[in-house]
Structure 1
Amino acid sequence: MATPSSFGQATCDRVQKKLENLIDKYMSQLGASKLSLSSISSQALWRRTDRFQGYGKQLFRFTDRKDISYILAPTHEEEITKLVAKTVQSYKNLPLRVYQIGRKYRDEIRPRHGLLRSREFVMKDLYTFDYSLPLALKAYEEARAAYSRLFDELKLPYLVAEASSGDIGGDISHEYHLPSSIGEDNVISCTDCSYVANEELAAARPIPLQDQSSTENNNAKGDNIQAQVWRGISKDRKTLVNVWYPASFADADINTHALKSVLPGLDSGLEDALPLWHSTLNSSTFSIGDQRLPLLNIIDYRLGQHFANSLKTEPGQFPMLPQQTPVELSQLDAQYITSLTSGEPFNTIRIHDGDYCPHCTSGKLKVQKAIELGHTFHLGTKYSDPLGAHVQIPSAMIEEGLAIVTNSVGNLTVAMQMGCHGIGVSRIIGAVADHLADERGLNWPRAIAPFEVVVIPSTDMDEDARTVSHSLTEASGTFAPIDLALDDRTASFAWKMKDADLVGYPVIVVLGRGWTSDRLCEVQCRQLGLTESIPLDHLQEHINKLLSRL
């Protein structure tokens, strides 16, 4: 039993500790060992995996007294791979599952919403190492299942979305999202089937053109009421991008994730790309005579093939170049893209509610704001190859399912197959607090509540409150002790009741008039909307039934 004198920082610490204990439980089910890696990492190590430039300005960089360059680690793939490379040489030492819960650092351009996006944050990252792809994929699915069980215990309405691997790398990844109006991510799901994807990977089935011939004829005449252009630029400032799309949309509707599928180097963070392109044209280090600058025209499928043909054959009818451009169209290497590499029509517009699902014929897509809580990645050999994480296996080893058979002598060296699986510990705390809070205060789920129950006595009932608290914190039959706080502070009863709502205990037990007259405890559960009077001998059973629903 706890009797806190103040509930501020101590309450936050207990929430974090409970969440970490919950994570420990599910990592243990995977057979993972816990470790702690340094927050300081070598820039040279990150250069070996080509991630140093990819992270760019998000990295906190510094040098020591010997002028050696370091970073504050935002993630630890390089460090754990280097450690494993030095300690594991045989397949007999695999599989390996290790994880840590610690502080990470990113120089965010716009930290916001407290714990949801900050420069310093707490994360759990699990790293898996196997000697074959089938075993690595099995480990990936086991980690995903553990994540689902963890979020189920938190009783959160989470979404699991197909995702892009981003700077982490690999070719398979999934994100775990909590729908929220303050979320930074857009998650797209189908109303009729199981399709869920984040905005970077989501696709919509092309909408049939009802009057394509009429639209195309108008577009062929260069009617800019029908089509307009959005301009972007590559990160090297040499490729100007024209995106042609229907005028019924706006620049804000352009899906830059789709554009990056054909131009990975697109700088999507710029509001006005033209000054940078003009700077390249006027640069003394660049000569038009030596190289033709690329001009990439991406054409939305809704504009039709006639529009695309006219753009190629009669470019003078369209604003192919911005005004006051110091070059002619003939001096540029103009390219035209009307479809994806898969052959599907190019949709340049962000997905909207009501678009057609790409996986079923009846469903419509729904766009939800969401907060990313966790992310799983199958990395393959992205890190093990450049950092030398290899193992020796018998040359005659074959796999029959997951059974290993060896029938001859000889060794081969293979790169380890890796996976990494992250959970934003501090982000979950912030997301859950925002998601479940109401006008009265926080409203923690049982799994991570600072205390499951708080006992609040009226004036001069401290001894009775200790009796009630003792009955709840003792094991009884099939009921385990309840994690409980007794609010014996000297503040007024009304103030303690308001403070209990503010802190967000799942269950509040009040000793008031009912206790004085009939020895009844008033049990309040705000999440379930219940207030009941319960005798002491049934109190533990009743509270445990409430807690099982939270």
Structure 2
Amino acid sequence: MESHAGIFHTLPLGERVQKKLENLIDKYMSQLGASKVSLSSISSQALWQQTNRLEGYGQELFRFTDRKDVPYILAPTHEEEITTLVAKTIKSYRSLPLRLYQIGRKYRDEIRPRHGVLRSREFVMKDLYTFDYSLQSALKTYEEARCAYNRLFDELKLPYLVAEASSGDIGGDLSHEYHLPSPIGEDIVISCTECSYVANEELASARPIPPQDHYSTESNNAQAQVWRGISKDRKTLVNVWYPASFSDRDINTHALKSVLPGLDSSLENAIPLWQSALNSSSQRPRLLNIIDYRLGQHFATSLKNESSQFPMFPTQTPVELSQLDAQYITSSTSGEPFNTIHIHDGDHCPRCTSGKLRTQKAIELGHTFHLGTKYSDALDARVQVPSTMIEDGQVISTKSDNITSVSMQMGCHGIGVSRIIGAVANHLADERGLNWPRAIAPFEVVVIPGRNMEDDATTVSRSLTEASGIFAPIDLALDDRSESFPWKLKDADLVGYPVIVVLGRKWTSDRLCEVQCRRLDHTEFVPVDQLREHINKLLSQL
């Protein structure tokens, strides 16, 4: 229940769903050999300054000061705190690998909370932090964590996608996202129809189609147009040249940031800011021309050699092209032809020759990062290792002829607990109510008795909740409230119990229980002595 904008209370049934999900996470973290900790929700701003994240994280940080004016934040994540903790306690490689996780509340000052717990200001998250002494060991840990995530989402029986992803503000150079396709999702996931290629919008690419190189300076206004942007420091104007068959809405700013990380993509009109910077800056202004591969090499050559034929910037701009540091980019940082356009359905897969790409809206449920030494370098988290165990490329500090100090290799692996609850609720709900999967349903089964059948319902419930042979007790609720029989049936659908057992007319006449499972579109009358086996068969499919 929402108490304030983007802030929610959890009621009894929701608390049971959350605890079941947390227990499920605990099971798979235990299989991974991870130990559970509980870190404070309050973190030091000074600590975040050491990793250069205090300002870079943006305005979503909840900041405050205590009575002594010491600045703190409500933590949205705990890389700094866990690294500092481990740096104080772990000194030798023999204590590694180390895997620590927590499940707790995080905070994010959302400018516009939306979609309930999917985008809230306070949320519950599981974060696992891993520490290894070598890159090889860290990458092994990363794959083990990914396998644990796969098993967890498999048990939830969700149609999840695992996408190659950008690390963003967290850091590192290896990252994967776990997504649930949904029409209300805020992320875009691209997948191939033929092979296993899946990537998020920031990292996805399409196989270029050789362009028809027919653009010329005489026809460029009809065949090409320009989108303009500016860097955050206002010193670089960006011209993106692309085919006129597309529009500005098709420009992929994620691709542009691969060559200009400081691009400010939030502005609709960059020219006034750049003009202002021209007048106030003593440095030579920069003009960056990015050319979409579809325009062909002839267009790129003409743009560079016959620039006067093109609208490099508005005519009222008081500067000549010769006064600028003009640069021309036709390929990505990896050397591929530069694609400035968002990927569309039907584009060619970059991994296989026959597959076509499909774009889907999705909700991010989890994210894994290999962080490397970004935080351990900044916070001096190091261990002593025999020199013979050092790998090429490791940051080292020699202590003696035989012992060397190295920065720990780190990983971070998050799961949005409250986000999974909201995403699953939305994904499986229908016109009659919620529809929880067995693994996190508040109760697996509800027993609803007709009038004057309360004693019989108690007997049936006990037969299902007591251990019997190969069957474990069933997690069951008996609806013995004084509400009407039709009201209880409707409420059971709203709550979303996986299986509903009804004691109605067939019970009175033939001692048969009506077993309903909405997700499987199943209704059957079952005698009591077969009830447990029948219910377990249904639950195994949920």
TM range (shorter): over 0.9
Cα distance in structure 2, aligned partners of 1:135 and 1:533: 56
Cα distance in structure 1, aligned partners of 2:94 and 2:476: 47
* Unaligned residue ranges in structure 2 (runs of 5+): 1-9, 392-399
Give the structure 2 partner of residue 174 of structure 1. 176
What's the offset of the Cα at 1:366? 0.7
Give the structure 2 partner of residue 85 of structure 1. 87
What's the offset of the Cα at 1:105? 1.0
Give the structure 1 partner of residue 218 of structure 2. 221
Contact 2:91–2:384 (Cα < 8 Å) also in 1: yes
Deviation readout 1:133-186 (Å, 9 max, x if unpaired): 111111111100000000000000000011000000011110000011111111
Give the structure 2 partner of residue 45 of structure 1. 47
Matches within 5 A, 1:73-152: 73-152=75-154
Verify: 1:455 aligned to 2:452, yes or no: no
Matches within 5 A, 1:354-373: 354-373=346-365
The one of 268, 271, 287 equivalent to 2:265 is 268
Cα distance in structure 1, aligned partners of 2:271 and 2:496: 52
Cα distance in structure 2, aligned partners of 1:123 and 1:540: 35
Give the structure 2 partner of residue 337 of structure 1. 329
Q: Which amino acid aligns with 2:143?
A: E
Contact 1:173–1:376 (Cα < 8 Å) also in 2: yes
In 2 relative to 1, CA 141–308 (structure 1 residues): closer, same or farther, beyond 3 Å? same
* Unaligned residue ranges in structure 1 (runs of 5+): 1-7, 400-407
Contact 1:222–1:318 (Cα < 8 Å) also in 2: no
Give the structure 2 partner of residue 255 of structure 1. 252
Give the structure 2 partner of residue 277 of structure 1. 274
Q: Which amino acid aligns with 1:125?
A: D
Give the structure 2 partner of residue 387 of structure 1. 379
Give the structure 2 partner of residue 201 of structure 1. 203
Matches within 5 A, 1:467-506: 467-506=459-498
SS in 1 for 2:117: coil
SS in 2 for 1:146: helix
Q: Which amino acid aligns with 1:331?
A: Q
Give the structure 2 partner of residue 405 of structure 1. none
What's the offset of the Cα at 1:398? 7.0
Cα distance in structure 1, aligned partners of 2:515 and 2:61: 50
Cα distance in structure 2, aligned partners of 1:397 and 1:303: 51
What's the offset of the Cα at 1:393? 1.6
Cα distance in structure 2, aligned partners of 1:492 and 1:420: 51
Deviation readout 1:397-430 (Å, 9 max, x if unpaired): 479xxxxxxxx98311111111110000000000
What's the offset of the Cα at 1:367? 0.6
Cα distance in structure 1, aligned partners of 2:210 and 2:182: 32
What's the offset of the Cα at 1:323? 4.5
The one of 229, 232, 244 equivalent to 2:229 is 232
Contact 1:220–1:307 (Cα < 8 Å) also in 2: yes
Contact 1:41–1:79 (Cα < 8 Å) also in 2: yes
Cα distance in structure 2, aligned partners of 1:423 and 1:398: 33
What's the offset of the Cα at 1:65? 1.5
In 2 relative to 1, CA 485–246 (structure 1 residues): closer, same or farther, beyond 3 Å? same
What's the offset of the Cα at 1:68? 1.5
Q: Which amino acid aligns with 1:530?
A: H
What is the root-mean-square deviation of aligned Cα atoms in Å?
1.4
Cα distance in structure 2, aligned partners of 1:276 and 1:548: 61
Contact 1:441–1:503 (Cα < 8 Å) also in 2: yes
Give the structure 2 partner of residue 403 of structure 1. none
What's the offset of the Cα at 1:446? 0.3
Larger relative contact order (CA 8 Å, sep ≥ 6): 1
Cα distance in structure 1, aligned partners of 2:384 and 2:138: 17
The one of 305, 313, 318 equivalent to 1:313 is 305
The one of 418, 421, 431 equivalent to 1:429 is 421
Cα distance in structure 2, aligned partners of 1:236 and 1:544: 62
SS in 2 for 1:433: helix
Deviation readout 1:271-291 (Å, 9 max, x if unpaired): 332332233234xxx24xx32
Cα distance in structure 1, aligned partners of 2:221 and 2:401: 72
Contact 1:396–1:409 (Cα < 8 Å) also in 2: no
Q: Which amino acid aligns with 2:256?
A: L
Q: Which amino acid aligns with 2:205?
A: A
Q: Which amino acid aligns with 2:76?
A: P
Cα distance in structure 1, aligned partners of 2:318 and 2:74: 44
In 2 relative to 1, CA 397–302 (structure 1 residues): closer, same or farther, beyond 3 Å? closer
Contact 1:509–1:524 (Cα < 8 Å) also in 2: yes
Cα distance in structure 1, aligned partners of 2:86 and 2:220: 62
308-317 or 110-119, larger mean C-alpha shift: 308-317
Deviation readout 1:199-255 (Å, 9 max, x if unpaired): 11101000123xx24x32xx3214312111111111111111110100111111101
Q: Which amino acid aligns with 2:85?
A: L
